[in-house]
A and B are shown apart, each in its own frame.
Chain A
Amino acid sequence: MTDIDAVPGMGPLLAARKFFTRAEVSADGRTLHRIDPGAWDRFYRDRWAHDKVVRSTHGVNCTGSCSWQVFVKDGLITWEHQATDYPSVGPESPEYEPRGCPRGASFSWYTYSPSRVRYPYVRGVLLEMWREARDRLGDPVLAWAELTGDPERAGAYKRARGKGGFVRSSWEEVLELLAAAHVHTIKRYGPDRVVGFSPIPAMSMASFAAGTRFLSLIGGTLLSFYDWYADLPIASPQVWGDQTDVPEAADWWNSRYLIMWGSNIPVTRTPDAHFMTEARYRGTKVVAVSPDYADNVKFADDWLAPHPGTDGAVAMAMGHVILTEFFRDREVPYFTDYVRKYTDLPFLVTLEPRGDAYVPRRFLTAAELGQRSENAAFKTVFLDEATGAPVVPDGSLGFRWGREGEGRWNLGLGGARPALTLLGRSGRAVAVDLPRFDEGATEGGSVMRRGVPVTEVGGRLVTTVFDLLLAQYGVARGLPGEWPEGYGDAARPYTPAWAEEITSVPAATIARIAREFARNAEVTRGRSMIAMGAGTNHWFHSDQIYRSFLTLVLLTGCQGVNGGGWGHYVGQEKVRPITGFQHLAFAFDWQRPTRHMAGTAFWYLATDQWRYERVGAGELASPLGEGLFAGRSFADCNAQAARLGWLPSHPAFDRNPLVLADEAAAKGVPVAEHVVAELTSGRMRFAAEDPGDPANHPRVLTVWRANLLGSSGKGNEYFLRHLLGADAETRNEETPEGLRPAEVTWRERPAEGKLDLLTAIDFRMTSTALFSDVVLPAATWYEKHDLSSTDMHPFVHAFNPAIAPPWQTRADYDIFMELAERFSELAARHLGTRTDVLAVPLTHDTPDELAQPGGRVRDWKRGECEAVPGVTMPKIVTIERDYAAVAERMRGIGPLLSDLGLTTKGVTYRAEPELEHLRGRNGVTPEGRISLATADRMCEAILALSGTTNGRLATQGFETLERRTGTVLADLAAEHEGRRISFADTQARPQPVITSPEWSGSETGGRRYSAFVINVERDKPWHTLTGRQQFFLDHDWIIELGEQLPAYRPPLNLRRHYGEQDGGDGAGVVVRYLTPHSKWSIHSEYQDNAHMLALSRGGPTIWMSVEDARAIGAADNDWIEASNRNGVVVARAVVSHRMPAGTVYMYHAKDRNLNVPLTERSGRRGGVHNSLTRLLLKPSHLIGGYAQFTYAFNYYGPTGNQRDEITVIRRRGQEVSY
């Protein structure tokens, strides 16, 4: 498929091989010069020869989205090399070619490897019982019902999970089993008990969409992954009202000061690292912040090595320096102009008395000024510098929805100049109490007293966010309270000397880097950048760490500027053609919405990790809080979030939602009314309030494109015990009485084996596959059509089959199509058409953001308000499901795209011409619908229906948005209005995307993508309360946690909560246990690849310092065991002086299926890296219903963080057995 001659650089200069006739030995006999004899070298020439080259890529969760050339000879895949034909970045920049890494380069090893899953498999004990029941009863649905309804038989196959014994089945047999399980579960328990897990659609959109479309059509629960992976930076929705948006890699080149902070770019962004190394040659200073001497450190001009998890303290101290030197001591007009217009710093915040001082409460709004305009409670206020009068500027949330805001949702200031500070204005100042977390008896820390200038507006005492920020950061201005005496004051937050004591980074270094960073931003107008990653984002309090980083880029006017701002690089894969993708993937062409679920909350309950808490939510509350969490568990907080409509909660109720609709029909009342009556009467409860009730268990789980049990499953051993009923290693004790949930029902015996059916679709035997009941053989990435995109580069490109799927493997797309057929056949008999009842959370980028003003918590269950669906509780939505028609609907585009259009981030697109085009391009189904019968058709439809890949839609979207903002936007896309990227285009070459309102940056005119450029350059508000980038947050639960402003919160003190866990024999060393991303795998993918094993150490390892190794007498490559209350891991030690003492790394996702011996502790197979971790919910991640804190899929929700963990390492016996 690739014409070698067309590859750039293949000029003729080296092409002509000259044949000489001489062979010559040099006079001294040193060398032999010779022409080739022409025959012997045929071996190498033949080896290089190939028949065709096919473009494809890797559907792996790495954000690389690299285009590859797959070489095929004699019908066999031989190897792959990187494609080099990316569209140019321009003459003054390095290009994207070649993108790839050693992991991708080794992929073809899998195609024919002995580890390949070639046929469908079912565990023998299950298959035998299934065949017997199936044959005896003659009806597969009844057979599944009988088998799973019999505790003895069900227990037998559940206990066998993970212990081998797979038997080859056939597609026919196994799909019937799956279909029967789905039909029975829907009928008996409800569709929301059918669950699907598949992450990161950008890494293969059609493959993702196949499963999610099927599950959406039947009403299944779709689990989120970005938050579950702890890759979602909660600070992003908090500060920007946006999930994540980051600069593409080529924009690093435009930076002049680049801090890599917890982001090991050469290892985790391998194809892009060259932009960083090359930017140095353009004069960019590079700083690395990493606790170890990581791969990226060697490129840095400076290396800061704070203790793990203390990065926030470094950043807070840098903020202290910047506020002191660039705001207090000297004014930098570029900075102050920026923060006035683009941040909430000038906005007024009310203060309330507390004791003998004050505490900040909420943003002052127009409502409190007595304004009666539409949505006045969502219009924030500043003082005009010249007149001192309060101004309600356009652009806040109050202008986003409703008629009056039409044309006014923009950042224009209408001639006003916001006052940043009240100092010198009213002459009045008060003391404020602010939380600090570096000391105190609990995680909630203690209190520090500072002061702010104040004035009265609308009868309320107010100050500005800027004044509060200076108080928080301890920048003294002669105000009341206790202030640091200078940078050298180590006792008071947040000075450099204070940070040095916590982090070990010298105060002078912190001050110097801060000064350089800000000064660079001043002279370059914002070209200072922080690339941040999992090293700083996977902590329990990562939202606070990130807010302290974002403070640095916001104060210095770097965000929304090419070469500046944040670069959040972990798991942030971007489906560039998002509109077409999400409408088809979630079957929004047939029904809206679908059952999106917050992954972490789901697993927390499903795996019963909530039963093992040793502290309550109150532990985290600031002493300045009001006791909202006192006596309440994290599970209680989660249940409250569910019933207030903040987070989704599926399964929703302790009743089959199909039955709920029948009941309402029987009573003759509207469904919502029935639901509210049942809930408020207490006859029905949310499933989250009693997760142990067998009626509330998830029953059927399908995992595709993922390795839940070998990779992302934090608290792995709890998954095994409670979800699967398999052997597990946790020795954790359950929550003692007295600390147990106040509201959530505690059942004496926890469930073991909640799931009736676990299915893995994969081409490898991962841990997930090994523990599954059914394993389906998937086609690889070189055997199917699909689409790939990322935010690291601005292109979309294709997967293509280099060979047909070998053996009995099938593409995910085809598997779900086939499953839908079998399902529909059985459903016709057993389900028919039913009405499904969905509890839908209040949703971001809709008027639901206005539901709960001020973020004040009012709970209908406690009688604090009425239970009103869509206001104080979830929306209640019904969907009629024709279960027999699921297969037909899978295959064809439904009517809603025409009837309702397509809506992304609040902008609705009309796509009639595109649908007409697709009708011709894709053909129609027997039912007359536009066909989605094959993956390439799905790809075509995704591209046609998205703004980034269809200039007409992008332009139309901007025109729609213009009517709301009243500013000029459509020109951003107009240059490409006629351009429509087809699937064939992406097969030929990576295609650059089009600027679109689906995202916040601009590629217009060939510029590099950087987040929020449109906001800054075109005055488009952020999707926040103020419409500006927010330093200050005012939801009740955030106030309770003391997190209104950026603050340093240390890693959780698990030693205090759980003890030393070393068993008391003193043979081990207690260390911080971190699981960074690996150099030799992408999560668990590739870690079993022979090439990667050869280049690494051939199995699981734990990196440790010389000091820690010495403490336990371990030498390099000795076997060690790492254990804590959660589980146990066996690995080889890698001893290196690049590791700091007191911290070990077990690189992420070492599966337990390769070179893992039996443990000494238990005599069972050692665990995965996540055997030592456990989920911890942060209450502020559960909030919703208010402004930017309103739920969307993968946008907001508790993170599956895992970095705060500790473990004990000991040297074990060196004789191991397997």
Chain B
Amino acid sequence: MRVLAQVAMVMNLDKCIGCHTCSVTCKQTWTNRDGVEYVWFNNVETKPGVGYPRRHEDQERWRGGWQVDRRGRLKLRSGGRVKRLLGLFANPDLPDLDDYYEPATYDYDTLVTAPAGPHVPVIRPKSAITGEDMAITWGPNWEDDLGGAPEHAPADPNLAAMAEKVRMEFDKTFMFHLPRICEHCLNPACVAACPSGALYKREEDGIVLVDQDRCRGWRMCVSACPYKKVYVNHRTGKAEKCTFCFPRIEAGQPTVCAETCVGRLRYIGLVLYDADAVLGAARVAGPRDLLEAQRRVFLDPDDPKVAAAARAAGIAEDWIEAARRSPVYRLAMRYRVALPLHPEYRTMPMVWYIPPLSPVLDAVTGMGADADDPDNVFHAITDLRIPLGYLASLLAAGDTEVVAGALMRLSAMRAHMRARAIDGSVDEDLLAAAGMTAEEMEEMYRLLAIARYDERY
């Protein structure tokens, strides 16, 4: 066992209001400059939808992440070292600007300087790349709130992975928002793919960075990252990516995206893990076993043996204490409501998500919660509008049981807390079904609902 510490994040999609404040504060702080106009270290996607860049989840196309070969060896999907070297100058798996979008600016000063003319002065889009007039036909958030979804969303790879058919019809509408940053993976494909050794995972906190001095602009990292969270600065030609705000983390501050999240849905915490176990976990055969495999890599900070090993590995006492207080560890391991994004990519991502509940509507039949019992106000999770299969494709390699379990615990928490708030009663059957004690349920409630600043980070 070799203990390492990792800063990790959980985002509660059930609280995400899709406001994109995280995107804007991140952009203003980090990528508001030439060469990275089109780059959003943090972006938010509306699901279902093809995302940014388009269809980035389609690894048949982009060949990102890892796969296990017939002999059980872990290999980059983009191929071995030789293949990648051959592709250095003609990488076919690289999204082009159209897959992202052509950033626009406007001739703003026209409004002030327009000479007297026949019409009201107007500013029009100009390409931020070429300076020429342009028509805006795509953007980093084109599909916001299902805009254009009937035309584009059917190409969402998660829909193809589902058993049931999703129709883009008013009565069937569902959506949720998916904020994304770099996953700072335990098994980062970008690092492995870099011919220059420019990408690295920081020993002390697991943050994955691009050494700007060593980057030679090969762009193998862009292809290899299945989340498409490494970008090319077209001015410098070098790769850039989310830094997990390391200058802030080092000063004891949360990332910009987390601190400015007005939905209060982001949690940052330290996770201790066994670096020696990562490879084994990443190559378990079944994609649906990857979640449990990754959970087994995480070490219980309350286990004295783990603490001792961590100390032996040079991890400071305050870091071990931080791991014990980690909201990420609690959400992922204790309450088991947080799940990794696309575990099947085998990168062991370290930004996890709590799946969203969703409303019930049956405009046609008016079905809903118990019509005869006005005290029974909640619906069963099987009635929710977001198909379990969709969430399972995103967060559980297709395993709907896993998603249902997380949603059930959220749902049970609501029922439990409602009873507590209204008449103080406790339903033991409900707790048993959720596999949690009342104390655990209420601790989880505090973490998810009250969620103070110093409890979130």
Contact = CB atoms under 8 A, between A and B. Distances in A.
B454 interface: yes
A1155 interface: yes
A175 to B, nearest CB: 20
B262 interface: yes
B231 interface: no
B79 interface: no
A1147 B415 CA distance: 37
A281 B205 CA distance: 32
Contacts of B142: 1097
Interface residues of A, number: 157
B149 interface: yes
A281 B356 CA distance: 12
B405 interface: no
Contacts of B23: 102, 1095
A47 to B, nearest CB: 7
Contacts of A81: 25, 29, 256, 259-260
Given A13-B318, A102-B20, A1097-B136, A115 B108 contact: yes
Contact of B260 (A82, A266, A267): A82
A47 B29 contact: yes
Contact of B146 (A280, A507, A1095, A1136): A1136
Contact of B421 (A256, A294, A518, A1103): A256
A719 interface: no
A135 interface: no
B406 to A, nearest CB: 14
B293 interface: no
Task: State which size class the interface on B falls in.
Answer: 35 or more
Interface stretch (A199-207, A222-230, A816-824, A1137-1145): A1137-1145
A37 interface: yes
A518 to B, nearest CB: 8
Contacts of B247: 44-45, 48
Interface string B132-171: 0000110111101111111110000000000000001110
A1218 B111 CA distance: 13
Interface string B434-457: 000000000001001111111011
B251 A4 contact: yes
A270 B141 CA distance: 18
B422 A1099 contact: no
A1094 B112 contact: no
Nearest to B21: A102
B202 A36 contact: yes
A1177 B419 CA distance: 48
Contacts of A124: 116
B366 A508 contact: yes
A32 B195 CA distance: 12
A8 interface: yes
Contacts of A1106: 150, 168-170
Given A274-B15, A1095-B140, A115 B109 contact: yes
A277 B13 CA distance: 11
Contact of A506 (B119, B145, B169, B366): B366
B122 A1137 contact: no
A1058 interface: no
A281 B211 CA distance: 43
A524 interface: yes
Contacts of A1101: 147
Nearest to B30: A47
A24 interface: yes
Nearest to B119: A1165
Nearest to A1115: B151
Interface string B157-191: 00000000000111011111000000000011001
B53 to A, nearest CB: 15
Given A32-B201, A115-B111, A1154-B123, A93 B450 contact: yes
A494 B170 CA distance: 27
A398 B248 CA distance: 64
A1155 B125 contact: yes
Interface in A1069-1103: 1079, 1088, 1090-1091, 1093-1099, 1101, 1103
A1157 B123 CA distance: 10
Nearest to B361: A303
B359 A299 contact: yes
Contacts of B203: 20, 22-24, 33-35
B143 to A, nearest CB: 9
Interface string B181-224: 00000011001100001011111110001011110000000000
Interface in A98-121: 98-102, 105-106, 108-109, 113-115, 117-118, 121
B286 interface: no
B90 interface: no
A282 interface: yes
A30 B192 contact: yes
B17 A270 contact: yes
B248 A283 contact: no
Given A32-B199, A94-B449, A94-B450, A82 B259 contact: yes
Interface string A57-84: 0000000000000000000001111101
Contacts of B148: 1116-1117, 1134-1136
Interface stretch (B296-304, B328-336, B374-382, B395-403): B374-382
B55 interface: no
Nearest to A285: B377
A1095 B124 contact: no
A1094 B417 contact: no
B363 A1137 contact: no
Contacts of B114: 164-166
A1156 interface: yes
Contacts of A305: 361, 363
Contacts of A79: 25, 28-29, 32
B368 interface: yes
A257 interface: yes
Contacts of B392: none
A278 interface: yes
Contact of B359 (A35, A288, A1095): A288
B422 A32 contact: no
Nearest to A1156: B122
Contacts of A30: 74, 187, 191-192, 278-279
B243 interface: yes
B165 to A, nearest CB: 14
Contacts of B253: 4, 7, 10
A1155 B145 contact: no
Nearest to A1106: B150
A301 interface: yes
Interface stretch (B56-64, B91-99, B319-327): B319-327
Given A301-B379, A1165-B122, 12 more contacts: A22-B203, A79-B29, A98-B264, A101-B19, A165-B116, A274-B15, A304-B361, A516-B374, A1079-B19, A1088-B106, A1135-B151, A1152-B120
Shortest 8 CB-CB contacts between residues of A and residues of B: A283-B418, A506-B366, A165-B116, A15-B252, A164-B114, A9-B454, A266-B17, A765-B111
9 contacts: A4-B251, A17-B250, A41-B211, A163-B120, A305-B363, A523-B423, A1094-B104, A1136-B149, A1157-B122
